[in-house]
Amino acid sequence: MARSKSRTVVTYGEGMFKAVEIQKKCSVDSSHPALKSEGLTQIVRPRQRFGYDLIVHVGLARYLRRKQREEICEELFRKRAIKLSPGSVSNLCDRFLLYLEALHLERSPHLRTAMQEHGYPLHMDATSEHGKGGLFVCIDGFRGWVLYAGKIESESEERLKPFVEKTIELFGDPIAIMRDLGPPGKNAVAFLRQRDVPDLVCHYHFLGAVGAKLFDGPYAILRNLLRENNVRADLRQTLKEVKRYRGQGTKKGCFGPGSIREDLIALVHWILEGDGKKDDMYPFSLPHLEFFQRCQGAMKRADVWAPTPRSQAEQKVLHHLKDLMQKLEKDNRFQDAVGPLEKGWLAFNQARSTLRLTNAELPGGDARYQQIDAPALQALRLKEIEKQVERYVKDLRKCVGNESLVKPTTPNGIILKYFNKYRAQLFGHPVIFDNDGTIIAVVQRTNNVDEHFFGKEKQQLRRRVGRAHLGRDLEDQPAQAVFASNLRHHDYVQILCGSLENLHNAFAELDEQTLGNATRLVRSNRDTALQKRVRALLKHLNKSDVLD
């Protein structure tokens, strides 16, 4: 007994067509399942309209080529005469992510086998944008593969631990953990420490915590005082006015007649902007302190950059600058903030120099200046830094003397307390050897694997959505989107599906049970059930008010 079923199917390869399927059913025993077309199921999922190859094409365009929905619609219509709405593109992207995570989970035993040769360091971190869109990611530090990820409402042990446990269940124990200093991360990996897995803290995060402890209080005071005195705004207006005097000949503006040399204009610009280089992230640079220090030295620099004789306009400019600088000098509150900051900055830089953390090693460091040492040199450098830290800590103890480290007040006391607490986790990075005893890999000393990953993902998300502020977009983006980054790794793709050209066939081979193991796509960290209940209660309350 046979019957036919028809439906409209859209594939990237063939475009839109009408598929007629002949289904055969046993006429003797009706309990036997109907025989369906295996060829059609390799093209499109049962009861679906869009083919696997179209899903893959849209997903790769969205998450690898960073195309916006409208761009994908236009490209499909122009190249393949396929007409889709932006909403249909979003739906196809969701299916792509669902299939991709399911395939990742199904192939995890094969991925785990490939990782077992040298093991993997577990780099784990969370990100958000202005407190929105929390995302927690576990990454293989050697290969850069995203192993597991999930949305989190807050960075707490109960939120992080399930994702860590799932990662370990899929890929086995790591050779080391690399994380920040936060207690949630520490508690989430406690079970791994009990198995003697080295639990390492990131050198960048360590110094960041030290700097925050040293600077947060006085730096906030300095920032507020500068805003209150309005010196920056006055200098910006001054710069705007002196630029009007550019060029040859006698000029006349708010500073009277006369010319103003370019070097004097440059002096005003320098007070405001410094040398123009991009500031490192706080607390690895203190822009407000640097601005205050430039103000202090401005008049001495004026004697060099704009020596006498001076035009009438130049004299008035310098007199105005002197009045602005004296506003800062006369306010004694500045020294209450600047004094501790300058002492703390000297101590902080000494600690940073001891750990040899360069600007290029910061998460926002310019990749062009990042030195990539051979693994053997990296291991040697870590050993040298460890010995240098030992000598530095001894010197700190002598300097601190009898100061209590329960609540230290001096910069050296604060730094010593942090080294005492985290020193054992700053070193001990596993080293991987080949059969000949050559060092081929070393666990990184920073968590920049995650930091760079988040930075790149946010950059690509800005391109996809066309917005600079990503708080809402991070909340709306499912966690599974980060698995798409694995498709840039040839070794990962080879294990997953052989090649990207074969990805649609791998999707087609996924059965219902495998798809059911994938995580439900979540586009918000908010408790939608509670929000619905609140709206229902408010609606009921409004009705009650009307009745009253």
Listed residues 340, 373, 396: the one ending a domain: 340
Contact 59, 103 (CB under 8 A): no
- How many folded domains does the chain comprise? 4
Same domain for 183 and 228? no
**Count of H-run helices and E-run strands, the chain:** 23, 11
Same domain for 327 and 361? no
Same domain for 461 and 497? no
Locate the DSSP E strands across 307-390.
none
Residue 284 lies in a domain: yes
Contact 507, 468 (CB under 8 A): no
If we measure between CA atoms, which residue out of 10, 108, 9, 17 comes closest to residue 58? 10
Residue 486 lies in a domain: no
Range of the structural domain that residue 262 is part of = 211-340
Show Cβ contacts of residue 518 under 8 Å, excluding neighbours closer than 6 positions. Answer: 98, 99, 101, 102, 105, 480
Same domain for 336 and 351? no
Show Cβ contacts of residue 224 under 8 Å, excluding neighbours closer than 6 positions. Answer: none
Residue 483 lies in a domain: no
Same domain for 225 and 335? yes
In sign, the C-alpha dihedral spanning 262, 264, 267, 269 is negative
Query: What is residue 175's DSSP assignment?
Result: S
Contact 153, 97 (CB under 8 A): no
pLDDT tens over the chain, length 548 residues: 455 667 888 999 988 888 765 555 665 556 656 555 566 788 888 888 999 999 999 999 999 998 999 999 999 999 999 999 999 999 999 999 999 999 999 999 999 999 998 999 999 998 876 666 688 999 999 999 999 999 888 889 999 999 999 999 999 999 999 999 999 999 999 999 999 999 999 999 999 999 999 999 999 999 999 999 999 999 999 999 998 888 755 567 788 888 899 999 999 999 999 988 888 899 999 999 999 999 999 999 999 999 999 999 999 999 999 999 998 999 999 999 999 999 999 999 999 999 999 988 888 766 555 556 799 999 999 999 999 999 999 999 999 999 899 999 999 999 999 999 999 999 999 999 999 999 999 999 999 998 888 888 877 877 787 776 666 666 778 889 999 999 999 999 999 999 999 999 999 999 878 888 787 777 765 555 666 777 777 776 665 554 44
Residue 484 lies in a domain: no
Residue 485 lies in a domain: no
Number of Cβ within 10 Å of residue 318's Cβ equals 19
Residue 99 lies in a domain: yes
In sign, the C-alpha dihedral spanning 340, 346, 349, 350 is negative
Show Cβ contacts of residue 111 under 8 Å, excluding neighbours closer than 6 positions. Answer: 104, 145, 171, 492, 495, 496
Instruction: Tokens for 77, please give them.
Output: 């219509």
In order, the DSSP letters of 291-306 are HHHHHHTHHHHHHHHS
Give CA–CA dist 426/206, Å, rounded: 9
Q: The domain that contains 183 carries what CATH number?
A: 3.30.420.10
The pLDDT value given to residue 1: 46
Same domain for 215 and 335? yes
Residue 423 lies in a domain: yes
Same domain for 224 and 304? yes
Give CA–CA dist 444/221, Å, rounded: 36
HEC readout, 241-293: HHHHHCCCCCCEECCEECCCCHHHHHHHHHHHHCCCCCCCCCCCCCHHHHHHH
Number of Cβ within 10 Å of residue 447's Cβ equals 25
In sign, the C-alpha dihedral spanning 483, 487, 489, 492 is positive
Same domain for 157 and 218? no
In order, the DSSP letters of 439-502 are EEEE--SS-HHHHHHHHHHHHHHHHHHT-S--HHHHHHS-GGGGGGGGGG-HHHHHHHTSSGGG
Beta pairing partners, 19: 7
Give CA–CA dist 467/473, Å, rounded: 9
Same domain for 284 and 379? no
Gap between the terminal Cα atoms of the chain:
67
Q: Phi then psi for 484, rounded to 5 degrees?
A: -65, -30
Query: What is the helix (H) or strand (E) element at residue 135, kind and residue range?
Result: strand 132-140
Same domain for 287 and 198? no
Same domain for 529 and 543? yes
Same domain for 347 and 404? yes
Residue 545 lies in a domain: yes
Q: Phi then psi for 134, rounded to 5 degrees?
A: -60, 130
